[in-house]
Amino acid sequence: MKRVLALTLAILLFIVFAMAFAKIPFGEKMSNYPDYYNPIENQTSNMSLPQHYLTYGKNDTGATNMVTAVVVDYRGFDTLGEVTVLFLASTGVGSLMYVEDKVKRKVRRSNAVVETGSKLLFGFIILFGAYIFIHGHLTPGGGFPGGAVIASSFLLLYLAYPKFHAEHKKLNVSESLAGLTFVIVGLLGLIIAGYFLYNFLPFGLPTYLFSAGVIPVIYVAIGVKVGSELTGIVDAMMGVRE
């Protein structure tokens, strides 16, 4: 009975959603002018928002990757809130998974191939993650995927070595320092130019590594923070092992 009701509800919702989205055009060119009833005479403010970002983003932020420009520069405050949500989730997982009696689970030792292979791959995976978040303003990727790649390298060590444990104090230190860097860069912008997260460093040449002002600094901080937080989540979920 419950299944039939759920299925009916699902089909009804599907029809409603399909009717709602049938009117939205797919794959068409973005309009230069938003469809307002009385457009303003000023040329720049007549553009739709994505057109404005794509046209002036390079001069406004110095970044080559426009998604990074939107995430870190135009909507930097939003990203600060997002990082806070991730921090809260990591804290919540740590407190929920806390075990009082420290019951140690027996874990079998993995074989030599897995151990050697993960030991060899560990450094390369960390290097790849660092590459992703350092080049976040030039290529696809950024702080969040880079941090996830770094956490996956630690996950590999957890799977290969039964007794491996990341040191909580070092994780906490790197996480706190990265979060502090983000906030301090924002506050420096507030002091220098009067806006929180203002891009106060020189932009440099586009498509070069040292460009885009504070965007690489913030993205490196986000990468380190996300990496240590996800490693903390993995560590908490693994529990105490022997």
Partner 1 sequence: MIPYYYLGSISLVVIGIYIVIAKKNLIKIIIGLDIMDTGVNLLLISVGYVKNATAPIENVPGPYVDPIPQALVLTAIVIGVSVMALALSIAIGIYKKTGTLELDEIMGVEE
Binding site for partner 1 (CB under 8 A): 2-3, 5-7, 9-11, 13-14, 17-18, 21-22, 24, 26-30, 49-50, 53-54, 57-58, 64-67, 69-71, 75, 78-79, 82, 85-86, 88-90, 92-93, 96-97, 138-140, 142, 144, 206-207, 226, 230, 233, 236-237
Identify which of residues 51 and 123 has a Cβ nearer to partner 1 in the complex.
51
Residues in the chain: 242
- Report the nearest approach of partner 1 to the CB of residue 35 (Å): 16
Helix ranges (H only) for 135-214 are 143-160, 168-193
Q: What span, in angstroms and rounded, lies between the C-alpha atoms of 225 and 109?
A: 31
Collect contacts of 161-166 with beta carbons under 8 A, ≥24 apart: 161/110, 161/115, 161/118, 162/107, 162/108, 162/109, 162/110, 162/241, 162/242, 163/241, 163/242, 165/235, 166/231, 166/232, 166/235
- Report the nearest approach of partner 1 to the CB of residue 66 (Å): 4
| Closest by CA position to 168, among listed 108, 103, 234, 81 | 234
Identify which of residues 8 and 176 has a Cβ nearer to partner 1 in the complex.
8
- Report the nearest approach of partner 1 to the CB of residue 216 (Å): 15
What lies within 8 Å, CB to CB, of 162 at 6+ separation is: 107, 108, 109, 110, 241, 242
- Report the nearest approach of partner 1 to the CB of residue 173 (Å): 21
Identify which of residues 5 and 112 has a Cβ nearer to partner 1 in the complex.
5
The answer to whether 209 and 138 are in contact (CB under 8 A) is yes
Identify which of residues 77 and 124 has a Cβ nearer to partner 1 in the complex.
77
Identify which of residues 20 and 191 has a Cβ nearer to partner 1 in the complex.
20
Burial of 72 per CB tally in 10 Å (0-12, 13-18, 19+)? buried
Identify which of residues 66 and 190 has a Cβ nearer to partner 1 in the complex.
66
Identify which of residues 192 and 240 has a Cβ nearer to partner 1 in the complex.
240
- Report the nearest approach of partner 1 to the CB of residue 79 (Å): 7
Tell me the residue type at 165: H
- Report the nearest approach of partner 1 to the CB of residue 31 (Å): 11
- Report the nearest approach of partner 1 to the CB of residue 21 (Å): 5
With vertex at residue 224, the alpha carbon angle to CA 219 and CA 230, rounded to the nearest 5 degrees, is: 120
The number of C-alpha atoms within 13 Å of 76 and in the hemisphere containing its C-beta is 24
